[in-house]
Structure formats: C-alpha cells, structure tokens
C-alpha cells in the first residue's frame, strides 16, 4: 500500500471526485482514471526536487483512493459511512464479500461496541413547561360592569394554571437504564407535585421491561410495570399495569396496546384500558414523507368519541406543516386547525386554533426547543364568537410575520454567519493544505496540458479558454458581496480527452487542481471554451454533472 498519510490529510477527500468517476463506476472505469492520474503524478516523471516531493504526496493520495474504491468491501463501507467508517476498529476480522446491507449491520455492531464505553456519560433530558392563560375578558364581558372601576377599561388577563415536568435518563449498563422524572402543577391557587423513578431493562432484541415507582401529594404512591414485545417483524404489543394507593384504598389499572404494520407507512392500533377511566380504542395512523393521517374511535367512561386528523408536510427548508382535526363525542365537538414551522436549527414554533361546543375558542402556542417544550394554551371565550375565531387565526399569523422579519431572520442570518466563520477558522489549515496541493497539481499538469492543447488544436477540438470555480455574485441585491473564485483553466483542460470533458455528480472541489475557495457557501463552475472554432460558455452548479461540448452552450455571434 502507498505510504501512510495523516488522517487529517485524507479524512475530507471525496474519492469519487478525486478520480472523477461516477459512484457506480466499474472496475475498468476506476482503473482507467487511476492510470491517468498516475501518469500525471508519478514521482519518476519529475526531476525538480520540489515537484517530485509534491508529486509523491499527490500520488499517495490518489493511490489511497483507488485502493479503497477498487476493493468491494472497503468501497461498500466508504459509500455508506465515508472515510470515518473505515476508521472503526474491527473490520479486519469481518468476513469479506459481504453485501452492503450486511456491512451496514456489521458497522452498527462495531459502533455499538465503541459507544458502550461512553454510556455512563450519556443522559437524555426532556422537559415541558405549560402556562395556561385565561383571556376570556378580551371577548366576553359586559362593559357597564367596569365603568365605575379604576382601570376598568382594560381587559383582565390572568395565568390560571401552570405545569412543569422534567425527566432524565441514566444508562446503568448496556441493557439497564434508570429514568428519573418529576412534575409540579398548580391550578387556580391549588398545586401539587409528583416524582417517579423507573428502571428499564432490555431483555432481548425483541423486547424490554420496566418497573416504575412514584409518589405525590395529589394521588398518593404508585407502583407500575410495563412490558414491550415484538411478536413478529410487523406486530408488537405493550402491556402496563399499575396500583395507585390513596386514602380511598388501592386503585388498580391495566392498559394493553396491540399494534401492527398494515403496510410500509400505515400502523393499526388496538387499545384496551381498565381502571379509573376504562375504555377501548382503535386507531389507524398513516405517516408518509408529505402527510400524516390519523383516524380513531373510542368507547369508554367517561369519554366516547371519534377523531380524525390530517397534517400536510411541505418539502421546504423550514419543514412547514399545516394540520386540521375534528373530534366529536359525548363531551361535544372540537375542530382544530393550525401550523408549525422550524424557526432555527433546534426550534419549532406552532400555533393551533381550537373551536368547540361547549368548550369555546382557544389558541394554543407551542415552542419546541431541542428536548424542551413550552406550551401556552390561551382560552379566549366560552362561546363561539366570530371575532374570537378571527383574531385567534389572524393574530398569531401577523405576529409571526413581524417577529420573523424583525427578529428571527436577522438572528438566524447572524448565527449562520457566525457558524460559517467558525467553520472557516476550523478548516483554515485543511483549506491551506488543499490550496497548496492544488497549486502543486497545476504545476505538475503543465506539460500534459501543453500536449493536450496541441492535440486538440490540430483537430479543431475542445480548448478551455477560461474556467473559474467558486462563488459568483450575479444578483443586484447582493452587489456588496465579493465574488470568491479560483482559476481552474489548467485542471479542466487536463481532464479533456478526445475533445470531451465529463465531470461526475460530485463536489468539484475534490477534482485534481481544485480546492474550496469559500467554505460553506454555494459554489458554481463557469467555463468559457472553444470547440470547432466556435465560442461556448456554461455555468454549472457545484454538484451537477457536466458534459461538454454541447450545442446549447454555444454563444450566439449576434449577442
């Protein structure tokens, strides 16, 4: 094998881009690309000591890439997990000639073994803060009742309930986990709290069991057990039983859930609950990339109802979702509609309007920040008032658009610029190395490029006149931004063969003689070339495949 390279030198290499081959390239295509680069970088072809040293370094990198991609096993690992997958200890004992699926399974096993050594350092904190607000005075009051009161012209809004809960997980062994949770609640001046400790053990690959102990001033001590079991690859069951101790005696409770995959995206559930609130429930849940649908029926004490909900998922960067549901039963009828959207990397903001009889109109605002949830149910009116429905719908939308323009977007933009700057700083040494390698590669290419140009000129073939790679500023609104491009005329001409240039679907920063001039920013390749004496020009995205010459690239002589 070629001389060993530092991990930092090759960890960011895209081997397919370096060899300029498709990800589906055959052994023959790999070998042809490898031979071509070997002829360019072989140290014995250069007499100058500095060029010879640079050629030796580049030759070793190319050889490393070829060795990984030419071996079916290491190539499968690299395709799935990249260079880091090859660094996992234990591959040397894995049986060769395995399929990608088998290699994926083996990789996950090796990863689990490595992660076991760090289990003690892991927790999974989750929390929720709920603040209930009574704003019925905004829409449902008699004005004359407030005429004689000081400040009577202002509506009265109060916080009438609050709930705080938190839980953490502490892995004890590879199979045992302890879960500690607690909550505090208050409603109209009366409050209480609970604390729970659960111990969960994974009994096999098919199931786990859990024992729970709890105490609180509202319901008294609680003891419970829960079991999960996969019956078949498409069906599982959970069973939970508990004992609640109070001054009125012991109250037992049992809950069982049977679930089955009806198809790839659809689950069916059957639930039976016996105890304080006995019920039978059946539901169907269909979850796809673009939508989520739920249909549920319940017969029980005190609530019997039917519920249907639908959620549409937009395929945008902000993961926008709109949803609606209707629920009808002995308690009345409730219609809900709302939306949620990602406002930053770790935050999702949602708002839901609830209109029901006899519940009235409510607005529910929810913010998910990492593993923490902040929930604000605002009760607007006990009646179905059109004004309350209108303001509950339009108010949050106007407020969100204002906050989005004035706070969120400037904050996200500043955060992205800060992260981009950190990324540039952290990768500065690597980029400097890549730039040095690219400049050395261009020097090594000069003689080959001269011969290629002579051959192409003799047959009126493909001549690269100018080529630039990086960030181009074409939008007038971004005039203040500076273009960041590098000249890649020589590296592209070196890739021309038989009057053709073919670039595969990979980042062009990995091509020989290229490097990334603007880390983390959108890049393009602009090429001005001559074919059969006619000028052509093309602008290609960083990861778009490119094939020239093409008739569509031709520059009209009249323009």
Per-residue pLDDT of 391-403, as tens digits, reads: 999 998 998 888 8
Question: Span 294-322, mean pLDDT?
Answer: 91
Buried b / exposed e across 29-67, counting CB within 10 Å, b at 16+?
Answer: ebeebbebbeebbbeebbeeeebbebbbbbbbbbbbbbe
Residues 6+ apart with CB under 8 A from 150: none
Question: Span 202-220, mean pLDDT?
Answer: 87
Residue 324 near residue 355, CB atoms below 8 Å: no
- Which is higher by pLDDT, 191 or 269? 269
Position 353 scores a pLDDT of: 96
CATH fold, domain 18-108, is Helix Hairpins (1.10.287)
- Which is higher by pLDDT, 80 or 418? 418
Would you give the distance in Å from CA 101 to the centre of its chain?
23
Give the length of the chain: 559
pTM over 0.75: no
pLDDT band at 420 (very low <50, low <70, confident <90, very high): confident
Buried b / exposed e across 383-403, counting CB within 10 Å, b at 16+?
Answer: eebeebbebbbeebeeebeee
Q: What is the C-alpha separation between 68 and 86, in angstroms, rounded?
A: 9
Q: What is the C-alpha separation between 442 and 455, in angstroms, rounded?
A: 19
Residues 6+ apart with CB under 8 A from 102: none
Question: Span 143-153, mean pLDDT?
Answer: 54
Strand partners, 530: 463, 535
Position 104 scores a pLDDT of: 64
> For the chain, what is the largest distance between any 2 Cα atoms, rounded to a whole number of angstroms?
102
Backbone phi, psi, residue 242, to 5°: -150, 160
Q: Look up residue 511 and give its DSSP letter.
A: S
Q: What is the C-alpha separation between 335 and 356, in angstroms, rounded?
A: 6
Q: Report the helix count and the strand count for the chain, using DSSP H and E.
A: 11, 23
Q: Give the residue extent of every domain in the chain.
A: 18-108, 164-276, 278-384, 425-553
Q: What is the C-alpha separation between 54 and 43, in angstroms, rounded?
A: 8
- When the pLDDT of each residue in the chain is averaged and rounded to a whole number, the result is 83
Q: Please report the DSSP string for 13-35 in residue order.
A: --HHHHHT--TT--HHHHHHHHH
Position 93 scores a pLDDT of: 37
Position 526 scores a pLDDT of: 93
Backbone phi, psi, residue 517, to 5°: -85, -10
Beta-carbon count within 10 A of 21 CB: 21
Position 90 scores a pLDDT of: 46
Residues 6+ apart with CB under 8 A from 372: 126, 127, 128, 129
Q: What is the C-alpha separation between 230 and 206, in angstroms, rounded?
A: 5
Q: Given a cut of 90, is residue 237 above it in pLDDT?
A: yes
Q: Given a cut of 80, is residue 466 above it in pLDDT?
A: yes
3 state SS of 275: coil
Q: What is the C-alpha separation between 296 and 283, in angstroms, rounded?
A: 4
Return the C-alpha torsion angle 399, 400, 402, 407, nearest 10. Answer: 130
Q: Given a cut of 90, is residue 448 above it in pLDDT?
A: no
Which percentage of the chain shows pLDDT scores above 70? 85
Position 472 scores a pLDDT of: 84
Residue 133 near residue 376, CB atoms below 8 Å: yes
Task: Give every strand in the sheet of 524-531, ordered side by side.
Answer: 484-487, 462-471, 524-531, 534-541
Q: What is the C-alpha separation between 38 and 53, in angstroms, rounded?
A: 15
């Amino acid at each position: 094998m070629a001389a060993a390279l530092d991990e930092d030198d090759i960890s960011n290499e895209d081997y397919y881009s370096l060899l300029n081959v498709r990800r589906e390239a055959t052994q023959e295509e790999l070998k042809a690309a490898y031979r071509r680069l070997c002829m360019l970088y072989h140290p014995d072809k250069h007499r100058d000591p500095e060029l010879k040293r640079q050629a030796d370094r580049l030759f070793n990198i190319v050889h490393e890439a070829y060795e990984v991609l030419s071996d079916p096993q290491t190539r499968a690992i690299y395709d799935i997990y990249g260079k880091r997958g090859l660094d996992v200890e234990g591959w040397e004992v894995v049986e060769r000639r395995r399929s990608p699926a088998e290699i994926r399974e083996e990789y996950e096993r090796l990863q689990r073994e490595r992660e076991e050594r760090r289990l003690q350092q892991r927790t999974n904190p989750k929390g929720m803060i709920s603040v209930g607000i009574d704003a019925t005075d905004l829409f449902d009051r008699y004005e004359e009742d407030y005429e004689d009161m000081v400040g009577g012209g202002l509506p009265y809004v109060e916080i009438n309930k609050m709930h705080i809960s938190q839980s953490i997980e502490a892995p004890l062994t590879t199979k045992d986990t302890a879960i500690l949770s607690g909550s505090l609640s208050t409603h109209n001046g009366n409050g209480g709290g609970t604390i729970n400790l659960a111990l969960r053990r994974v009994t096999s690959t098919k199931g786990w069991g859990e024992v729970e102990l709890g105490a609180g001033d509202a319901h008294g001590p609680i003891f419970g057990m829960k079991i999960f079991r996969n019956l078949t690859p498409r069906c599982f069951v959970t069973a939970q039983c508990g004992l609640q101790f109070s001054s009125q005696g012991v109250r037992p409770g049992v809950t069982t859930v049977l679930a089955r995959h009806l198809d790839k995206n659809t689950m069916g559930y059957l639930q039976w609950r016996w105890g304080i609130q006995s019920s039978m429930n059946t539901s169907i849940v269909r979850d796809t990339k673009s939508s989520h649908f739920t249909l549920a029926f319940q017969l029980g004490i005190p609530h019997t109802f039917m519920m249907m909900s639908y959620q549409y998922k937009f395929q945008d960067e902000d993961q926008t979702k709109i949803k609606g549901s209707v629920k009808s039963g002995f308690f009345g009828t409730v219609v809900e509609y709302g939306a949620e959207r990602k406002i930053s990397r770790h935050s999702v903001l949602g708002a839901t309007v609830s209109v029901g009889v006899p519940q009235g109109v409510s607005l529910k605002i929810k913010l998910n920040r990492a593993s923490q949830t902040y929930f604000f149910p605002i009760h607007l009116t006990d009646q179905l008032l059109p004004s309350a429905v209108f303001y509950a719908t339009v108010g949050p939308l106007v407020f969100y658009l204002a906050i989005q323009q004035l706070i969120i977007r400037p904050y996200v933009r500043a955060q992205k610029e800060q992260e981009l700057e950190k990324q540039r700083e952290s990768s500065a040494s690597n980029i400097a190395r890549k730039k040095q390698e690219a400049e050395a590669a261009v020097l090594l290419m000069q003689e080959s490029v001269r011969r290629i140009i002579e051959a192409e000129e003799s047959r009126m073939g493909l001549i690269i006149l100018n080529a630039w790679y990086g960030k181009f500023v074409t939008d007038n609104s971004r005039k203040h931004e500076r273009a960041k491009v590098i000249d890649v005329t020589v590296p592209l001409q070196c890739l021309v063969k038989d009057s053709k240039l073919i670039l595969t679907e990979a980042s062009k920063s990995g091509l020989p003689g290229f490097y990334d001039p603007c880390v983390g920013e959108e890049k393009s390749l602009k090429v001005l070339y001559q074919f059969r004496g006619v000028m052509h020009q093309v602008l290609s995205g960083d990861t778009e495949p490119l094939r020239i010459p093409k008739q569509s690239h031709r520059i009209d002589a009249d323009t």
